[in-house]
């Protein structure tokens, strides 16, 4: 079975290939230069409609990618250049997505097991992220990465803009 890394966001996510470094078309200097990520989005091309990769993630824009070197906790080899490269590419991809969206959801799952319950859901603030290793997770673990914006603390779920039910926020809105 194949592991996939999944991403979800309020804003469109890039589907461009990243990490590949050909010296000319289809010619690479090394195997490391041929190691990268390509992304598949949640768009049914036949009817131009979006579908969720997992029933547990409701954000509109979603992508997924796969690699033999995904940074899965316990399987990651820190001294292996291929693992390091993929880890850095995922790190940069998530940080870039956070430029356009207040929240990015990231999880890893075996293909066809996306709808199983997450074993862990953890929220990380952008200010807490120090290195690519902060995104090393296990199968069916989910990270909600949010920008450092106080209003985001009041959101009840990753869908973001559906409703806000925090009492302090409601009081400030009623006074306005």
Q: Give pLDDT tens digits for 30-42.
A: 999 999 999 999 9
**Across all residues in the chain, what is the average pLDDT?**
86
pLDDT of amino acid 171: 54
What's the whole-model pTM score?
0.83
- The pLDDT tens digits for 53-82 are 999 998 999 999 999 999 888 777 878 899
Number of other CB atoms surrounding residue 119 within 10 Å: 12
In whole angstroms, give the CA distance from residue 86 to residue 66. Answer: 10
pLDDT of amino acid 175: 58
Q: Are 35 and 89 in contact (CB under 8 A)?
A: no
pLDDT of amino acid 162: 39
pLDDT of amino acid 76: 77
Q: How many CA atoms lie within 13 A of 157 on its CB side?
A: 7
90's CB contacts (< 8 A; 6+ apart) are: 5, 37, 70, 71, 106, 132, 135
Label residue 151 by pLDDT band (50, 70, 90).
Answer: low
In whole angstroms, give the CA distance from residue 86 to residue 71. Answer: 7
Distance of CA 127 to the CA centre of its chain: 17
In whole angstroms, give the CA distance from residue 30 to residue 22. Answer: 9
Element (H, E) at 120: strand 120-125
pLDDT of amino acid 3: 93
């Amino acid at each position: 079975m194949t592991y996939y890394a999944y991403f979800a966001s309020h804003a469109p996510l890039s589907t461009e290939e990243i990490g590949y470094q050909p010296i000319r078309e289809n010619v690479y200097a090394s195997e490391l230069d041929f190691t990268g990520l390509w992304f598949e989005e949640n768009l049914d091309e036949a009817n131009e409609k979006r579908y969720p990769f997992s029933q547990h993630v409701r954000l509109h824009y979603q992508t997924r990618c796969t690699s033999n070197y995904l940074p899965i906790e316990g399987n990651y080899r820190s001294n292996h250049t291929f693992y390091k490269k993929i880890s850095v590419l995922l790190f940069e991809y998530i940080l870039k997505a956070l430029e356009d969206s207040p929240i990015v959801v990231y999880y890893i799952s075996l293909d066809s097991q996306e709808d199983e319950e997450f074993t862990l859901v953890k929220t990380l603030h952008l200010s807490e992220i120090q290195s690519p290793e902060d995104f090393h997770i296990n199968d069916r673990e989910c990270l909600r990465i949010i920008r450092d914006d106080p209003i985001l603390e009041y959101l009840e779920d990753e869908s973001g803009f559906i409703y806000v039910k925090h009492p302090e926020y409601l009081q400030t809105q009623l006074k306005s």
